[in-house]
Amino acid sequence: TVEAEPIATDTKEVEQPAATESSADEVAPEHSYRSELTNEWIDEDLKDQRPIAVMVDNERTALPHFGTADADVVYEIMNSTLNDRITRFMVVVKDWEKIEQLGSIRSARPTNFMLAAEWNAVLCHDGGPYFINDWVAKDYSANFSFNNGKATEFTEYITYDTYTNSQKGKTYDGLKQRFANSKYTTTYNDYYQGPHFKFADGEVTFDDRSDAISATTIELPFKHNGSTLKYNEETGTYDYYEYGSAHKDADSNAQLTFENVILQDTTFAELGEGYLIYNAIDSGRSGYYITQGKAIEVTWTKSSENAITHYYDAKTGEIQINTGKTYISLIPSDGWSSLVIK
């Protein structure tokens, strides 16, 4: 991949999106701080803990998912150019010690190593094609490969403590044991670049923006999954649907839902046999930031393999987003025109 130069940004003071209900004077709950992933109040003991990024199988056979409703950030990206461009989730979780069961998990692709590194996260997966070998060896990379093979396909999960697969009669180490037996720290290391997002002091709305478009339904161009986000006016969030049904967590029956939606027009290169790598390093490409039933056009830039992706609004500079969970999709450029926002 070719490293792109960072996009030039204007350093002068710029107009910011409308924000209401300022939280500047809000008193922090005892022993808590605002999460750098969601801006929600969480236990201050987690402040320096690095996240994990877990590969989750998104084939119909792998449903229902366990634990995905507890993710802070969910990426959905095309996993293969075959099978009607089936997608796979990569879910980013800050408080991974509370995980009882997350998955089922599946293999990683080169793109996932670049995305996980943006968060200084440890990528958790079940192996992958040989294309990932060079990415595993990167200095910034951290990953736990469970390598339990096809015998546990659709039945393999991430847990905090030791996990017994009752269907296969096997016991596997959880995250606690994996970290203890690895070279990785559980806290942020020298590759951590600071918070990924800029959160607004209040609620971002685009009601006063003439260039904002209605975004109550978002149909992603992923034919196999039929991935769709629908705005829920009661909760002010975007509910996720696939295969024609609401995505509900198998543990809690909670709907997978997001305060923020970010879509990136991204080119990709085929590696053979359906495998691909997104050209996630790029500058000034198109995208959308969607929240509170409205969408605005943005551009995005990622300057190097482990650099944070930044999103820019032509009117306000780098975007500020709402407190809460975020959905991000890298949409293949040759399918960008098929994206429906209405």
Average pLDDT of the chain is: 91
CA distance 159 to 314: 42
Q: What is the pLDDT of residues 61-118, one digit of tens each?
A: 999 999 999 999 999 999 999 888 999 999 999 999 999 999 999 999 999 999 999 9
pLDDT band at 260 (very low <50, low <70, confident <90, very high): very high
Q: What percent of the chain has pLDDT over 70?
A: 91
Alpha-carbon gap, residue 148 to 40, rounded angstroms = 35
pLDDT at position 26, please? 76
- Which string of DSSP letters, residue by residue, matches 95-139? -GGG-S-EE-B----HHHHHHHHTTTPEEEES---GGGHHHHTST
As a whole number, mean pLDDT of residues 232-257 equals: 97
pLDDT value of residue 16: 44
Q: Say which range, 20-24, 145-149, 235-239, has the weakest mean pLDDT.
A: 20-24
Among 94, 97, 77, 109, which residue's Cα sits nearest to residue 158?
A: 97
Tokens of 177: 């044991």
**DSSP assignment string, 251-271:** TT-PBPEESEEEEEEE-EEEE
Q: How many CB atoms lie within 10 A of CB 91?
A: 27
The pLDDT of residue 25: 62
- The single-letter DSSP state of residue 248 is B
Most confident range, picked from 158-167, 171-180, 188-197? 188-197
Q: What is the distance between the alpha carbons of residues 71 and 254, in angstroms, rounded to a whole number?
A: 12
With H, G, I as helix, E, B as strand and everything else as coil, classify residue 152.
helix
pLDDT of residue 11 exceeding 90, the answer is no
Report the pLDDT averaged over residues 12-17. Answer: 41
Nearest partner of 158 among 95, 67, 75, judged by Cα: 67
* Interatomic CA distance for residues 95 and 52, integer angstroms: 9
**pLDDT score for 23:** 54
- Tell me, what's the pLDDT at 17? 45
85: left (phi over 0), alpha (psi -120 to 50) or beta: left
What whole-number distance in Å separates Cα of residue 266 and Cα of residue 162? 38
pLDDT in tens, 25-60: 678 899 999 999 999 999 999 999 999 999 999 999
Would the pLDDT of 168 be above 90?
no
**Mean pLDDT in residue range 166-170:** 74
Q: Please give the structure tokens belonging to residue 153.
A: 């396909």
Top-confidence residue, 147 or 326: 326
**Nearest-angstrom CA–CA distance, 313 and 242:** 29
pLDDT of residue 150: 55
User: Is the pLDDT confidence value at 7 over 50?
Assistant: no
CA dihedral 201, 204, 210, 214 (to 10 degrees): 170
pLDDT at position 143 is 97
Sequence-distant (6+) residues with CB within 8 A of 187 are 48, 49, 50
Backbone phi, then psi, for 307, in 5-degree steps? -75, 150
Return the pLDDT at 108: 96
